[in-house]
Amino acid sequence: MPQLPSSVNRGLIALGGALIERPASWLRVFRFAGVALVTALSPSAWDPAMRRATAQQIHFSAWQALPGFTFAAAMLSFVLIRIVEGTARDYGLSQYALGLTVRVLILELIPVLAALFVALRSGAAINTEVTLRHIRGDFETLASAGEDPLRHDLVPRAVGAVLAVMLLSYLSSAVALVLAYLALYGISPWAIGSFMRITGQVFGPVVVAGYALKTLLFGAAVAAIPITAALAVPREREMAPIAVLRGMVRLGIAVAVIEGGFLAVMYA
């Protein structure tokens, strides 16, 4: 039986490893997300240390990011609303400008932007820090000292990321709604009825449920994927960059898949 060249052999081994590794890594993500959810929803888990750690993570992920992201999202929203409104008016379709703005900006664009922003800001930081602590063996040290690393370190980070995605999405959406009203109708109060009627038509029960579920899934992805990618690498210092790389790539893929899936369900 002829021997395969060594490079081909190594490639096949790498491919096989990847085929086994990738589903396993996604399973770890779902497992960690499930454990974190159960822990967060268990009142007994919320001891003072967990509350403090969670508060710190919320402060880091949401509080610090809130003003900058809200301002940036407001600017982007205003520009996009003006473009949509101007284009719709040019084509004589201004009655559809508000519906289009709400659908494109509030339901699709702002949640994705919020997820990507939290992923790049908090997700990358969480990924790096958890990777380094995993390599250093800090979690084992904490466990031996009687603390629960899951409750006092990992779940607070996840909760902070989820809350940050939801807060940034909801607040920026609210700001975008107000800006849409101002851009389309000015400061006149007489268009409130029409505005509410049109937005009410867009925000059907399925759409609202989809919007809420999407932001939750974005938050879960931003929280779970970097942590599981960090915990999956071998305890070698040179593996730290690889863990961050894997975590961020998987996070990007997850955000794209979630958004694409929702678009397909809602509009296909």
Min dist CB 188 to another protein, Å, is: 16
How far, in Å, CA of 108 to CA of 249, rounded?
21
Q: Report whether 84 contacts 142 (CB < 8 A).
A: no
Of 39 and 54, the one with the shorter C-beta distance to another protein is: 54
Instruction: Kindly state the tokens that stand for 65.
Output: 């990011």
Q: Does 181 contact another protein by CB under 8 A?
A: no
Q: How many residues bind another protein (CB under 8 A)?
A: 30
Of 29 and 176, the one with the shorter C-beta distance to another protein is: 176
Q: Does 199 contact another protein by CB under 8 A?
A: yes
Q: Does 60 contact another protein by CB under 8 A?
A: yes
Q: Does 203 contact another protein by CB under 8 A?
A: yes
Min dist CB 65 to another protein, Å, is: 11
Min dist CB 199 to another protein, Å, is: 6
Q: Does 59 contact another protein by CB under 8 A?
A: yes
Quick note: the x/- pattern for another protein over 209-228, rule CB under 8 A, is: ---x----------------
Residues 85 to 104 in contact with another protein, rule: CB under 8 A: 93, 95-96
The single residue among 12, 19, 20, 208 that binds another protein, judged by CB under 8 A, is: 208
Min dist CB 12 to another protein, Å, is: 44
> Which of these ranges, 20-28, 57-65, 220-228, 235-243, lies near another protein under the rule CB under 8 A?
57-65
Of 83 and 209, the one with the shorter C-beta distance to another protein is: 209
User: HEC states along the chain?
Assistant: CCCCCHHHHHHHHHHHHHHHHHHHHHHHHHHHHHHHHHHHCCHHHCCHHHHHHHHHHHHHHHHCCHHHHHHHHHHHHHHHHHHHHHHHHHCCCHHHHHHHHHHHHHHHHHHHHHHHHHHHHHHHHHHHHHHHHHHHCHHHHHHHCCCCHHHHHHHHHHHHHHHHHHHHHHHHHHHHHHHHHHHHHCCCHHHHHHHHHHHHHHCCHHHHHHHHHHHHHHHHHHHHHHHHHHHHCCCCHHHHHHHHHHHHHHHHHHHHHHHHHHHHHHHC
Instruction: Kindly state the tokens that stand for 57.
Output: 């993570």
Min dist CB 176 to another protein, Å, is: 12
Q: Does 200 contact another protein by CB under 8 A?
A: yes
Q: Does 196 contact another protein by CB under 8 A?
A: yes
How far, in Å, CA of 133 to CA of 150, rounded?
13
The residue ranges that bind another protein (CB under 8 A) are: 51-52, 54-56, 58-60, 62-64, 66, 93, 95-96, 163, 166-167, 170-171, 174, 196-197, 199-201, 203-204, 208, 212
